[in-house]
């Protein structure tokens, strides 16, 4: 056993990218998150960048009607808004029709995207309509005198999402306990590879891992996780003592188990592709049973739901549930194994516990991971969102001496071809890879992206390269093409590295990895007063991109991180213009102006300690399209060009389109609107893939919306305003749900 002081010190040496099993264990759905001042500290680890919020910020109306024509009565309506505040509303009906017209309407001001809950009690069965700008967003009916209608805060991380996932990967409920899962995967038949270690770069858990391959080629792993809680929410919980608990298989420190199997998507079809299936199990109860659970508190930062907490670092593409409540097949197909990184583990010192003792077992597990990559690479080229496995294969082969994995030990010093020094690359590129990208990025990013458009070449940094799959960071050029996003995500917003332990390790020495990375980022300017690279936590004012709209305009600064107070002002305006904010201290005020032209809007945010000011230009155009009237049917489909050969749908279609493209936008897609909505970020509209992809070279089709042209900028503004106004569908029953 190690001295306690060493344990506490080493416990601060946290994590990195998710390894083979990135999910936690203990069912802590009732446990509060550790107390963190979100106005000063990044705290959104292991959550999706786009949570698929159900609603955008802005003004809404909830209309309350009777369920049946001609009924009279009264009602009480409680509305819980995303910020947790509750509005108590009431009303009555004369003799009216069961419609949203001519029934009581109540205004709702929603400051940020998130959860909504309606609780209606009425003398007769009621019906609720959620309306924005006169357009129906959604509705809910009831056959009783009470109605509860909830919108989850996230469309990709919720109890409903987890339940749908387990129905998809275990339709016959054959894996509801760990013992059942073990039996399904033949762990009672021998042939088991076993390793125990502490994952110093992941969650800091002690891991007792078991793996085997079935006779029909399926691959299965499970791991028992051990954590010694010294102080709730403290990094000291994730230190070397967890290894001792795992080696001792200390049941009191066992927080739960995870299991992954690589088996057929359709268990009754031997020709269906193999997919990864994730399961999380509770600690053993008094009878020794470990029950399957839908959520866990991984790192003291609150409850996360299956499978999103796993898929985030296993290359998953999180799409919302289908209209019928089924789990999307594309998301099922998207997950991949993470390779084991033996150099990042801590091992025991006893016989059979050292790294040398376990090297063969570690290689065997990585060989199975490699086999799974090859299997995924062999999928049909027309598979939507087909992953390009070549870089992940190159990485794992590089660590074991090349094709066939000839070396018996893992070489941590390998530099992939796309990161090796050359005359076209800056000095120190290999150092950037070995000190920043490999330990903090590549485990997750190498599992991202798709094959579509990789033959599309562009000139970048003086070289002709493909940036279509740049998100997998397979080369220096692809990585550095994201310079602006890296600065924003890593240094301003603190959402990368994505896991808490990895984040802590990255920022452990600001003069190390953070400074090395910053030295390669063009225009980097995130410094403190001493010109040192600054850790996230400083207020980040985000008033939104420059926009063109009609007055009045709904503004939204809810994504101004590390901020608790807001102040809007106008620094420049057309001569003689009269303008106003309905509340200049609101996070989402309404701006009104009587004169067309450009208005420079300033947003100052603070957290009680520091402040930051940023600006945006709002162009008022009374002759342009009214942003409050924009719909998918009338305005967005034409831009996407369902009838045009020079549009999104010219590539995003199943006949003449790019192979491996992740989504079809043409009229053959019956879920066209829903698939577009899945690429929309209602919480932070400018982060929507629908805007980012076609305006950047990392898009497999190169730049399709060129903002340097009048047409391109007009189309961008239409898309942005539509998303900011809630991305409503319209009235065409053949297109809109």
At 610, which CATH number?
2.60.40.10
Distance between CA atoms of residues 470 and 698, nearest Å? 6
| Same domain assignment for residues 35 and 181 | yes
| Same domain assignment for residues 142 and 181 | no
256 pLDDT band (50/70/90 cuts)? very high
| Same domain assignment for residues 553 and 674 | no
In a domain, 443, yes or no: no
Please provide the size of the chain in residues: 737
- Look at phi and psi of residue 210 and say left if phi exceeds 0, alpha if psi is from -120 to 50, else beta: beta
- Report whether pLDDT(25) > 70: no
| Same domain assignment for residues 584 and 663 | no
Provide the residue range defining the domain that includes 563: 547-620
How does the average pLDDT of the chain come out, rounded? Answer: 90
In a domain, 383, yes or no: no
In a domain, 427, yes or no: no
| Same domain assignment for residues 169 and 279 | yes
Range among 41-50, 64-73, 431-440 with highest mean pLDDT value: 431-440
Determine which of 114-128, 279-293, 358-372, 650-664 has the lowest per-residue pLDDT on average: 650-664
Distance between CA atoms of residues 701 and 651, nearest Å? 8
| Same domain assignment for residues 145 and 175 | no
Range among 65-69, 241-245, 650-654 with highest mean pLDDT value: 241-245
Q: What is the pLDDT of residue 300?
A: 77
Q: What is the pLDDT of residue 731?
A: 87
- Report whether pLDDT(21) > 60: no
> For the residues 465-477, what does the mean pLDDT come to?
92
Q: How confident is the model over 302-342, as pLDDT tens digits?
A: 889 999 999 999 999 999 999 899 999 999 999 999 999 99
In a domain, 387, yes or no: no
| Same domain assignment for residues 340 and 238 | yes
Q: What is the pLDDT of residue 37?
A: 64
Contact yes or no for 386/659 (Cβ under 8 A)? yes
233: closest CA among 39, 3, 535, 31? 31
In a domain, 206, yes or no: yes
pLDDT exceeding 70 applies to what percent of the chain?
94
In a domain, 453, yes or no: no
> For the residues 532-543, what does the mean pLDDT come to?
93
- Which of residues 32 and 472 earns the better pLDDT score? 472
Distance between CA atoms of residues 491 and 483, nearest Å? 11
The enclosing H or E element of 363 equals helix 355-377
| Same domain assignment for residues 258 and 169 | yes
Contact yes or no for 132/728 (Cβ under 8 A)? yes
39 pLDDT band (50/70/90 cuts)? low
Domain boundary pick from 324, 342, 377: 377
| Same domain assignment for residues 252 and 270 | yes
CA distances from 62 to 274, 637, 654 (A): 45, 27, 39
- Report whether pLDDT(30) > 70: no
Domain boundary pick from 602, 620, 638: 620
| Same domain assignment for residues 33 and 85 | no
In a domain, 449, yes or no: no
6 pLDDT band (50/70/90 cuts)? very low
Q: What share of the chain is helix, strand, coil (3-state, %, to 5)?
A: 25, 20, 55
Q: What is the pLDDT of residue 733?
A: 87
| Same domain assignment for residues 299 and 220 | yes
Q: What is the pLDDT of residue 24?
A: 46
In a domain, 699, yes or no: yes
Domain boundary pick from 106, 134, 151: 151
pLDDT exceeding 90 applies to what percent of the chain?
74
What is the DSSP secondary structure assignment for residue 308, as one 8-state letter? H
Number of domains composing the chain: 4
| Same domain assignment for residues 166 and 124 | no
652 pLDDT band (50/70/90 cuts)? very high
646 pLDDT band (50/70/90 cuts)? low
189 pLDDT band (50/70/90 cuts)? very high
Q: What is the pLDDT of residue 477?
A: 95
């Amino acid at each position: 056993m190690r001295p306690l002081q060493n344990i506490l010190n080493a416990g601060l040496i946290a994590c990195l990218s998710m390894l083979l099993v990135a999910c936690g264990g203990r069912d802590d759905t009732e446990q509060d998150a550790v107390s963190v001042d979100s106005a000063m500290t990044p705290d959104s680890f292991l959550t999706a960048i786009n949570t698929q919020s159900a609603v955008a910020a802005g003004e809404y109306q909830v209309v309350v009607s009777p369920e049946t024509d001609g009924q009279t009565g009264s009602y009480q309506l409680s509305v819980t808004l995303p910020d947790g505040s509750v509005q108590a509303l009431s009303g009555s009906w004369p003799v009216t029709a069961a419609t949203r017209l001519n029934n009581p309407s109540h205004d709702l001001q929603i400051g940020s995207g998130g959860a909504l809950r309606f609780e209606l009690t009425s003398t007769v069965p009621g019906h609720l309509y959620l309306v924005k700008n006169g357009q129906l967003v959604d509705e809910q009916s009831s056959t009783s005198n009470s109605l509860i209608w909830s919108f989850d805060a996230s469309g990709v991380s919720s109890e409903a999402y987890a339940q749908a996932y387990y129905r998809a990967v275990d339709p016959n409920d054959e894996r509801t306990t760990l013992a059942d899962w073990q039996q399904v995967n033949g762990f009672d038949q021998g042939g088991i590879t076993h390793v125990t270690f502490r994952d110093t770069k992941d969650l800091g858990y002690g891991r007792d891992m078991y793996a085997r391959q079935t006779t029909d080629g399926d691959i299965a792993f499970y791991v028992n996780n051990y954590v010694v809680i010294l102080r709730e929410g403290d990094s000291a919980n994730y230190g070397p003592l967890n290894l001792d608990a795992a080696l001792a298989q200390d049941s009191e420190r066992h927080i739960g188990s995870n299991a992954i199997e690589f088996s057929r998507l359709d268990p009754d079809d031997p020709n269906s592709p193999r997919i990864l299936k994730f399961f999380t199990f509770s600690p053993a109860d008094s009878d020794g049973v470990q029950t399957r659970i839908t959520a866990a508190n991984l790192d003291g930062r609150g409850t996360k739901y299956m499978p999103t907490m796993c898929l985030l670092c296993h290359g998953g593409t999180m799409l919302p549930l289908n209209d019928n409540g089924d789990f999307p097949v594309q998301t099922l197909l998207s997950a991949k194994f993470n390779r084991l990184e033996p150099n990042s583990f801590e091992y025991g010192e006893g016989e059979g516990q050292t790294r040398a003792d376990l090297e063969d077992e570690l290689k065997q597990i990585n060989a199975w991971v490699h086999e799974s990559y090859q299997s995924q690479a062999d999928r049909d080229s027309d598979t939507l969102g087909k992953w390009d496995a070549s870089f992940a294969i190159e990485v794992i082969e590089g660590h074991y001496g090349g094709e066939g994995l000839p070396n018996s030990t893992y070489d941590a010093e390998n530099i992939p071809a796309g990161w090796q020094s050359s005359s076209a690359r800056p000095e120190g590129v290999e150092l950037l890879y070995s000190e920043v990208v490999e330990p903090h990025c590549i485990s997750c990013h190498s599992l991202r992206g798709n094959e579509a458009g990789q033959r599309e070449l562009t000139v970048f940094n003086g070289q002709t390269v493909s940036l279509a799959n740049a998100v997998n960071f397979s080369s220096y050029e692809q990585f550095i093409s994201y310079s602006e996003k890296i600065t924003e995500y890593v240094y301003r917003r603190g959402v990368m590295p994505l896991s808490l332990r990895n984040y802590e390790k990255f920022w452990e020495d600001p003069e190390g990895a953070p400074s090395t990375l910053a030295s390669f980022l063009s225009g980097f300017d995130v410094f403190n007063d001493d010109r040192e690279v600054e850790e996230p936590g400083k207020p980040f004012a985000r008033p939104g991109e420059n926009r063109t709209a009609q007055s009045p305009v709904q503004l939204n600064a809810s994504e101004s991180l590390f901020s608790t107070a807001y102040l809007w002002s106008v620094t420049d305006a057309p001569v003689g213009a009269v303008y106003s904010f309905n509340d200049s201290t609101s996070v989402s005020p309404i701006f009104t102006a009587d004169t067309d032209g450009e208005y420079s809007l300033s947003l100052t945010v603070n957290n009680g300690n520091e402040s930051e000011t940023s600006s945006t230009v709002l162009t008022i155009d009374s002759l342009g399209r009214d942003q409050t009237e924009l719909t998918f049917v009338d305005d967005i489909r034409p831009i996407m060009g369902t009838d045009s050969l020079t549009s999104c749908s010219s590539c995003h279609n199943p006949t003449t389109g790019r192979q491996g493209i992740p989504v079809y936008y043409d009229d053959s897609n019956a879920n066209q609107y829903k698939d577009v909505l899945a690429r929309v970020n209602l919480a932070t509209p400018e982060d929507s893939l629908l805007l980012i992809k076609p305006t950047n070279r990392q898009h497999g089709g190169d730049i399709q919306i060129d903002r340097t042209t009048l047409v391109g900028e007009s189309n961008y503004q239409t898309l942005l305003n539509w998303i900011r106004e809630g991305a409503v569908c319209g009235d065409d029953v053949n297109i809109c749900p």
